[in-house]
Amino acid sequence: MQTRRDTLQQSMAVAGLLAAAGLLPRDAFAFNKTAFEAKSIADAAKAFGGSAPAESKDVTLTAPDIAENGAVVPMAVASTLPNLKHLLVLVEKNPNALVAMFNVSDAVEPSFSTRAKMGQTSDVYAVAITNDGKALYAKKEVKVTLGGCGG
């Protein structure tokens, strides 16, 4: 009987062979370390090819005014902008500001929700990056009463 672990090991071995043979796209296993280590929204936007971010009503961020538990703060981002490439969620005072990144194309509705950890009260940003490099954002302060990042 094959276990789940065996299946995963075999799948990774096959994926490694396909990647080595050049049969998988180069970015299939890509990780943007620069973006996830960014300490500001400008640095994160730049890591994804965006210009200096500007506030916009075409980007929406939904999050609670007060999060009773910082370990699970619900957030939703959406945009009505055309030609979107990425939607980002950032928490300014987290050790790593970038919480989530969603790739967007014409085949995907640019509306996503997630949950994030927040260690303290902070501004939360939704950043939309277009194909031509524009970075637009929406911002909201979320007050945390019980920290979630080791607090």
Whether residues 40 and 88 share a domain: the answer is: yes
Q: Does residue 25 sit in the same domain as residue 37? A: no
Residue 150 covered by a domain = no
What is the full DSSP assignment across 52-118? S-EE-TTEEEE--SEES-TTSEEEEEEE--SSEEEEEEEETTSSS-EEEEEE--TTS-SEEEEEE--
CATH code of the domain covering residue 35: 2.60.40.2470
Domain assignment present for 91: yes
Q: Domain check: are 104 and 35 in the same one?
A: yes
SS3 64: coil
Same domain membership, residue 35 and residue 2: no
**Structural domain count, the chain:** 2
Question: Do 51 and 3 share a structural domain?
Answer: no
Structural domain includes residue 149: no
Please report, in tens digits, the pLDDT of each residue of the chain (151 residues total). 778 888 878 887 777 777 677 666 655 555 678 888 888 889 999 999 999 999 999 999 999 999 988 889 999 999 999 999 999 999 999 988 999 999 998 888 999 999 999 989 999 999 999 999 999 999 999 999 875 565 4
pTM: 0.77
- Written as six digits, the tokens of 73 are 């703060």
Residues 105 and 125 occupy one common structural domain: yes
* CB contact at 8 A, 119 and 150: yes
Whether 87 and 64 share a structural domain = yes
For residue 7, the enclosing domain spans: 1-30
Question: Cα separation of 28 and 16, whole Å?
Answer: 11
CA 29 vs. chain centroid, Å, equals 16
In a domain, 151, yes or no: no
